[in-house]
Structure 1
Amino acid sequence: MHEELSSPELAKLQFLHRVQLQDLERTERWIGVELARLRELAARRPLPEEPGLVLSYLRKGGHPVPDSVHVGNCRLAAKHVKRLTEEQARRTIAVDGIPACEICRPDADLGILG
């Protein structure tokens, strides 16, 4: 004969165990929903732009004056900059005579060595 072991304390612990399993399952569902939301946001987020090229301006006599060409993330670029295409940057350095930054060397990236 097999006797069932039982007590009020065991019944309470078994009930608590079931409740905790349900809470764990619910928490795992919430985690899954949040991960799916984050993946969806990441898929929609555009890729970061390349640093690009910029023309750095300094203020002289209250007017902006072109100073130098930089790779977009160069810390030596002035506070005021204008984004340039590669062709515009080549023209600015080669034709307009605006110097390329000697640190970030956009001229080397553009194939202008001097």
Structure 2
Amino acid sequence: MNEPARSKLDLLHFARRVVIQQATAAVAQIDTWIAQEEERLAHRREVEAMRPPPADWLLERGLNKTNLVAVHVGGCWTVRKSSRCIGVSQQQALDALRQQVPACTHCRPDTELGILD
């Protein structure tokens, strides 16, 4: 029927318990997010470790994929992830330059290989 009046001290203790409960839940949520992010980063590192190293030299094929249009250094920024480029050995890059396949004007593989026009 009539509930006894709660004192201000009782209300403050109640408020403290609520805040602790909410803070504990928030910390648990953040810990979950941290664990998920650590797992995602670990997986990314594993994938990167399994990826083969990039080729030192690239030959860029034309749109019909048969003619060669340029020789590139492996890290050339103009190539990006083009499906028209294939990784080749240093000797193959040299041979292509000697067979008049143009050198990329940005990465200058002819200079890197010691062949100058």
TM-score over 0.5 for the pair: yes
Match of 1:80 in 2: 84
Match of 1:29 in 2: 31
**TM-score, normalised on structure 2?**
0.65
Distance across 2 between alignment mates of 1:32 and 1:74 = 34
From 19, 30, 36, the counterpart of 2:21? 19
Distance across 2 between alignment mates of 1:55 and 1:33 = 43
Structure 2 counterpart of 1:10, one-letter code: L
Kept in 1, the 8 Å contact 2:58–2:88? The answer is yes
1:54 alignment partner, SS class = strand
Distance 1:82 1:36, change over 3 A: closer
In the TM superposition, residue 93 of structure 1 has moved relative to its aligned partner by 1.0
Distance 1:15 1:90, change over 3 A: same
Distance across 1 between alignment mates of 2:65 and 2:103 = 21
Structure 2 counterpart of 1:36, one-letter code: E
Q: Does 1:67 align with 2:69?
A: yes
Structure 2 counterpart of 1:90, one-letter code: L
Count, aligned residues: 107
Distance 1:80 1:40, change over 3 A: closer
Match of 2:115 in 1: 112
Structure 1 counterpart of 2:114, one-letter code: G
* Structure 1: gaps (5+ residues): none
Counting aligned pairs with the same residue, the percent is 19
Distance across 2 between alignment mates of 1:43 and 1:76 = 24
Kept in 1, the 8 Å contact 2:58–2:87? The answer is yes
**TM-score, normalised on structure 1?**
0.66
**Bigger mean CA deviation after superposition, 62-71 or 22-31:** 62-71
* Structure 2: gaps (5+ residues): 1-6
In the TM superposition, residue 107 of structure 1 has moved relative to its aligned partner by 1.1
Distance 1:39 1:75, change over 3 A: closer
